[in-house]
Structure 1
Amino acid sequence: MKNLITTLVLVLAVYPSFSQQRAASNSHPAKLADGISIASLTEEGINADKINMLTEEISKNTYPNVHSLLISRHNRLLYEHYWPGEDQHWGNPVGIVPHDRDSLHDIRSISKSIVSACIGIAIQQGKIKSVDQKVLSFFPAYAAQDTGMKSALTIRHLLSMSSGLVWNEDVPYDNPENSEIRMINSPDPIGYVLIQPMEAAPGKLWKYNGGTTQLLAAIIERTTGKPIDQFAHEYLFKPLGITSFQWVKYPGTTLPAAASGLRLRSRDLLKFGLLYNNNGLWQGKQIVPAPWVKESFQPQVTRRGGAYGYQFWIWNDTVDNKPVHVVNCVGNGDQRIIFDKEHDLVVVITAGNYNKWDIKENSTAIMQDYIIPAVGK
Structure 2
Amino acid sequence: MTGEDREAGMTMADRVDKVLDEGAAPALHGLVVVRGGRVVLERYGAGDDHHLNRPLGHVTFEPDTLHDVRSVTKSVVALLYGIALADGLVPEPGESLLRQFPEYPDLVADPVRARLTVEHALTMTLGLEWDESVPYTSTANSEIAMEAAPDRHRYVLERPIVEEPGRRWLYCGGAAALIGRLVAVGTGRPLAEFARTALFEPLGIGSYAWAKGADGVEMAAAGLRLTPRALAAIGALVLDGGRGIVPGDWLAELTRPRVPIDDRRRYGYQWYVGTGSPRWIAAHGNGGQRVYVAPERDLVVAVTAGDYGDPAQPSTTAVLDELLKE
For the aligned pair, the TM-score class normalised by the smaller chain equals over 0.9
CA distance in 2, matches of 1:75, 1:342: 14
- Quote how far apart the aligned CAs of 1:315 are: 2.5
Equivalent residue number for residue 207 of structure 1? 170
- Quote how far apart the aligned CAs of 1:131 are: 1.2
Return the TM-score normalized by structure 1: 0.81
SS in 2 for 1:140: coil
Q: 1:59 to 1:256 in 2, by over 3 A?
A: farther
1:192 is aligned, of 155, 159, 168, to 155
Equivalent residue number for residue 3 of structure 2? none
Q: 1:49 to 1:129 in 2, by over 3 A?
A: closer
CA displacement, residues 151-176 of structure 1 (integer Å, 9 cap, x when unaligned)? 12111111111111111112221232
**2:74–2:220 Cα contact (<8 Å) kept:** yes
CA distance in 2, matches of 1:137, 1:235: 26
CA distance in 2, matches of 1:88, 1:128: 34
Q: 1:220 to 1:246 in 2, by over 3 A?
A: same
CA distance in 2, matches of 1:365, 1:256: 32
Equivalent residue number for residue 81 of structure 2? 119
CA displacement, residues 344-375 of structure 1 (integer Å, 9 cap, x when unaligned)? 2110111011101245x34233222x1122x3
**2:254–2:269 Cα contact (<8 Å) kept:** yes
Q: 1:296 to 1:205 in 2, by over 3 A?
A: same
- Quote how far apart the aligned CAs of 1:57 are: 2.2
Amino acid of the structure 1 residue aligned with 2:190: P
Equivalent residue number for residue 260 of structure 2? 302
CA displacement, residues 15-49 of structure 1 (integer Å, 9 cap, x when unaligned)? x9xxxxxxxxxxxxxxxxxxxxxxxxxxxxx9764
Equivalent residue number for residue 82 of structure 1? 44
**2:24–2:318 Cα contact (<8 Å) kept:** no
Q: 1:50 to 1:266 in 2, by over 3 A?
A: closer
CA distance in 2, matches of 1:267, 1:48: 25
- Quote how far apart the aligned CAs of 1:264 are: 0.6
**1:59–1:83 Cα contact (<8 Å) kept:** no
Are residues 1:365 and 2:323 paired?
no
Equivalent residue number for residue 121 of structure 2? 158
CA distance in 2, matches of 1:59, 1:174: 33
Are residues 1:311 and 2:270 paired?
yes
CA distance in 2, matches of 1:350, 1:48: 24
Equivalent residue number for residue 175 of structure 1? 138
CA distance in 2, matches of 1:50, 1:238: 31
**2:24–2:315 Cα contact (<8 Å) kept:** no
Amino acid of the structure 2 residue aligned with 1:301: V
Structure 2 gaps of 5+ residues are: 1-5
Equivalent residue number for residue 243 of structure 1? 206
- Quote how far apart the aligned CAs of 1:129 are: 3.7
- Quote how far apart the aligned CAs of 1:265 are: 1.1
Q: Which has the higher contact order (CA 8 A, sep 6+)?
A: 2
- Quote how far apart the aligned CAs of 1:61 are: 2.4
Structure possessing the higher radius of gyration over alpha carbons: 1
1:226 is aligned, of 183, 189, 199, to 189
More displaced, 228-237 or 54-63?
Answer: 54-63
Are residues 1:288 and 2:246 paired?
yes
Q: Report 1:56-71 matches (<5 A).
A: 56-71=18-33
Return the TM-score normalized by structure 2: 0.93
Amino acid of the structure 1 residue aligned with 2:294: D
CA distance in 1, matches of 2:315, 2:146: 29
More displaced, 115-124 or 47-56?
Answer: 47-56
Amino acid of the structure 2 residue aligned with 1:221: A
Amino acid of the structure 1 residue aligned with 2:320: M
Amino acid of the structure 1 residue aligned with 2:111: G
Please tell me the root mean square deviation across aligned C-alpha atoms, in Å: 1.8
CA distance in 1, matches of 2:38, 2:54: 35
**1:150–1:202 Cα contact (<8 Å) kept:** no
More displaced, 94-103 or 196-205?
Answer: 196-205
- Quote how far apart the aligned CAs of 1:209 are: 0.3
1:338 is aligned, of 292, 296, 302, to 292
Equivalent residue number for residue 275 of structure 1? 237
Structure 1 gaps of 5+ residues are: 1-15, 17-45, 318-322
CA displacement, residues 93-143 of structure 1 (integer Å, 9 cap, x when unaligned)? 111111010000100000001100011001101112411121111111212
Amino acid of the structure 2 residue aligned with 1:193: V
Amino acid of the structure 2 residue aligned with 1:240: L
- Quote how far apart the aligned CAs of 1:144 are: 1.2
CA distance in 1, matches of 2:205, 2:33: 19
Task: State how many pairs are aligned.
Answer: 318
SS in 2 for 1:119: helix
CA distance in 2, matches of 1:352, 1:97: 11
CA distance in 2, matches of 1:135, 1:159: 11
